[in-house]
Amino acid sequence: MAENIIKADERVVSVKVTGDYACFTRPDLKVERLSYPCMTPSAARGILDSILWKPEFRWYVRRIKILNPVRFVTVKRNEINSK
């Protein structure tokens, strides 16, 4: 079985992602929109897929670096559907 595994390409891609606000919602908190302090690996893969997606590509996130201190803000929203 090990003979059938294709060796992964060892090329490295670095991407700097910036923005005013971000929310990487925690799945265990459905009601409150509490964010992780940094981007999750699945969000990083989604960003890489949005830049370059091909069926034969599979992105592996090795490292996420935080360049600036993380700051949290409180945003109040009414997410109740009303008629």
What pTM did the predictor assign? Answer: 0.70
Q: Which residues of the chain have pLDDT under 50?
A: 1-4
At residue 57, the pLDDT reads 81
**Whole-number pLDDT of residue 23:** 86
Backbone φ, ψ for residue 67 (5° rounding): -90, -30
Count of the separate structural domains present in the chain: 1
Query: pLDDT, tens digit, for every residue of 59-71?
Result: 889 899 988 888 8
Residue 57, domain extent: 40-68
Residue with tokens 């949290």: 72
pLDDT at 47: 92
pLDDT of the residue at 7: 57
What Å distances lie between residue 35 and 2, 53, 69, 73, CA to CA? Answer: 40, 26, 15, 10
- Is residue 55 one of the residues assigned to a domain? yes
